Amino acid sequence: MMIEKIKLIGFRLLVVLTLFVLCVNIGYAEEEEEDVGPYFYDLDKDLQDIADHLAETAGQTNIEFAEMGVPYINAFAMHPNRIAITTGYIKYSMKYTGDYRFTIGTLSHEIGHLVLGHVGGHGKLNYTEDGVANRNQERAADYFGIELMWKAGYDCAYDAQDWSVQISRNPERAQVQGNTHPAMQERLDSSRKLCESLKAGNGVPTDMYFE
């Protein structure tokens, strides 16, 4: 009888200790979650004006834009009508140009993903195991974005200038083609070709490259 009481007391202590540890772990998890980014911010007014003008030119007046507080260079289109550009991309543009010109092509590209239906209901781009389809999706958004820049009254050469700088920063990756994105050199060459055609009054070339 005494042994059973000792076992019962031991079991109760184990339950209490387990609950205590669980509560402590939950508290730590909540604290960590509060500190984990990324955080999203309103765009600077000048950049917001650019983004809104691009969206209006594309006939998309309901897009919500935000700055994602992370240091790397990237931007994202998210379902159903959200686009985020990173702090790193904004600072990169300011560093190399003194203004927002490199963000124009990127925002236009992401608008292209939304307009062309590349973002699924899960909130992300519709990437699959098919690398060709993924890369062609990116090419379509590139071409849409460059034409959109031009229609909105911006110099489409900004896009090629952006790729040129990115290649100069990472020359070893210029010819690297990924499962989701074409190589940077290809994107630079295509950007120049399309922009030159637009400036010559010839519209989008019918032979823009797709795999």
pLDDT in tens, the chain (211 residues): 544 444 434 434 333 333 333 333 333 333 344 445 679 999 999 999 999 999 999 999 999 999 999 999 999 999 889 999 999 999 999 999 999 999 999 999 999 999 999 998 777 898 999 999 999 999 999 999 999 999 999 999 999 999 999 999 999 999 999 999 999 999 999 999 999 999 999 999 999 999 9
Which two three-digit tokens encode residue 157? 């050469």
Distance in angstroms (rounded) separating the CA atoms of residues 189 and 164: 10
Dihedral of the alpha carbons of 28, 34, 38, 39, in degrees to the nearest 10: -170
Coil, strand or helix: which one is 25? helix
Distance in angstroms (rounded) separating the CA atoms of residues 114 and 125: 9
CB 47 within 8 A of CB 100: yes
Q: Vertex 8, ends 4 and 13: CA angle to 5°?
A: 150
CA distances from 131 to 138, 163, 172 (A): 11, 21, 21
Distance in angstroms (rounded) separating the CA atoms of residues 85 and 74: 6
CB 55 within 8 A of CB 89: no
